């Protein structure tokens, strides 16, 4: 016997109150999304809806999802996927949960490349493939390679490429992103979002990050610059003479990263701020190939 229809607002109201009391920042939206997940939907359930099929099993599932959210687990982790740029991306324990601020890198990369012109792209530390796949989705004549040290991340990125119709133009490999022998050759665009959080600051981050993002993808050493020291020479070795590198940096890191870039033979071409007005992206190239069309 099927469950009798119920009004969504009767389910959502107590859920919103619980999340609000538990300190969740967006209790209404999160409740609607989690109810949708429990109902087997990819969307949020709205309060005015009448729900068919909200049975005891669904109620138990919804309760479990609420408990996870109250424990600090982000909705994207609970659902297992995140919308980024125009793509739906599967998440895995070994991948960062891509945030809207990282779309700053994509926008800068698209400004630094020509639509309709073949472009070879490299994503160092690709994780879910978010940066590379977003760029490829806007550049149909481009191809790309992603490198990550975590095999689970490479597997997730490969699946994401397939689900978004980009498998034929991508290749993902397991390896150290600072090793020039991994994915060798020259690239017109290099993307990189390395671990750049100082180790001592990680535990003080929001629970959604500190407890649920992989520490390997966060920990930048004592000063947050260890991976920059390692990866910038790799960027210089793999960048074509007129190529561009678009790098995501931590708040206040621009001067330190530019200093390390200069030691590797790279110079600043431009920079972009994120949604909070913080310098989030550095665009680098070689000094003899300056650009005039990249926003600063």
User: Residue 245 belongs to a domain with what CATH number?
Assistant: 3.40.50.150
C-alpha dihedral, 111 to 115 to 117 to 122, nearest 10°: 50
Query: Could you tell me if 120 and 253 lie in one domain?
Result: yes
Query: Could you tell me if 29 and 89 lie in one domain?
Result: no
Query: Could you tell me if 113 and 259 lie in one domain?
Result: yes
Query: Could you tell me if 60 and 155 lie in one domain?
Result: no
Query: Could you tell me if 47 and 112 lie in one domain?
Result: no
Q: Are strands 119-124 and 187-192 parallel, antiparallel or unpaired?
A: parallel
| 238 vs 261: CA distance, rounded Å | 14
Query: Could you tell me if 198 and 261 lie in one domain?
Result: yes
Over residues 119-134, mean pLDDT: 97
User: What pLDDT sits at residue 131?
Assistant: 98
pLDDT tens-digit series, residues 55-78: 999 999 999 999 999 999 999 999
φ, ψ of residue 42 to 5 degrees: the values are: -95, 15
User: What pLDDT sits at residue 294?
Assistant: 43
User: What pLDDT sits at residue 290?
Assistant: 52
C-alpha dihedral, 84 to 85 to 88 to 93, nearest 10°: -30
Q: For residue 296, tell me if it sits in a domain.
A: no
Query: Could you tell me if 16 and 144 lie in one domain?
Result: no
Q: Where residue 293 falls among pLDDT bands split at 50, 70, 90?
A: very low
Provide CB contacts within 8 A for 128, sequence distance 6+.
82, 84, 89, 90, 91, 92, 95, 96, 98, 153, 156, 157, 160
User: What pLDDT sits at residue 206?
Assistant: 86
Last residue within a domain, chosen from 24, 46, 71: 71
Provide CB contacts within 8 A for 295, sequence distance 6+.
108, 111, 270, 272
Query: Could you tell me if 154 and 28 lie in one domain?
Result: no
User: What pLDDT sits at residue 295?
Assistant: 38
Last residue within a domain, chosen from 22, 46, 71: 71
Domains held by the chain: number: 2
Q: For residue 77, tell me if it sits in a domain.
A: no
Which residues constitute the domain of residue 18? Answer: 6-71
Question: For residues 142 and 113, is the Cβ–Cβ distance under 8 A?
Answer: yes
Query: Could you tell me if 165 and 40 lie in one domain?
Result: no
The model's pTM: 0.90
Query: Could you tell me if 63 and 93 lie in one domain?
Result: no
Query: Could you tell me if 158 and 265 lie in one domain?
Result: yes
pLDDT tens-digit series, residues 90-106: 999 999 999 889 999 99
φ, ψ of residue 33 to 5 degrees: the values are: -65, -40
Query: Could you tell me if 210 and 237 lie in one domain?
Result: yes
């Amino acid at each position: 016997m099927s469950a009798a229809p119920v009004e969504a607002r009767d389910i959502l109201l107590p859920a919103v109150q619980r999340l609000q009391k538990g300190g969740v920042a967006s209790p209404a939206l999160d409740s609607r999304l989690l109810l949708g997940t429990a109902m087997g939907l990819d969307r949020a359930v709205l309060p005015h809806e009448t729900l068919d099929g909200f049975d005891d099993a669904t109620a138990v599932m919804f309760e479990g999802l609420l408990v996870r959210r109250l424990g600090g687990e982000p909705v994207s982790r609970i659902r297992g996927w995140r919308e980024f740029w125009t793509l739906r991306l599967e998440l895995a324990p070994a991948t960062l949960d891509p945030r809207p601020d990282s779309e700053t890198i994509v926008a800068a990369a698209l400004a630094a490349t020509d639509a309709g012109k073949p472009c070879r792209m490299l994503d160092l530390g690709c994780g879910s493939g978010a940066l590379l796949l977003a760029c490829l989705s806007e550049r149909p004549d481009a191809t790309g390679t992603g490198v990550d040290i975590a095999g689970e991340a490479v597997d997730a990125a490969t699946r994401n490429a397939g689900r978004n119709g980009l498998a034929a133009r991508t290749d993902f490999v397991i390896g150290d992103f600072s090793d020039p022998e991994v994915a060798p050759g020259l690239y017109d665009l290099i993307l990189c979002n390395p671990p750049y959080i100082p180790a001592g600051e990680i535990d003080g981050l929001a629970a959604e990050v500190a407890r649920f993002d992989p520490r390997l993808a966060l920990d930048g050493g004592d000063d947050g610059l260890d991976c920059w020291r390692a990866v910038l020479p790799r960027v210089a070795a793999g960048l074509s003479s007129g190529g561009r590198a678009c790098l995501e940096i931590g708040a206040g890191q621009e001067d330190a990263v530019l200093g390390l870039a200069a030691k590797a033979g790279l110079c600043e071409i431009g920079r972009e701020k994120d949604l909070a007005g913080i310098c989030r992206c550095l665009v680098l190239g070689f000094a003899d190939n300056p650009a005039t069309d990249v926003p600063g």
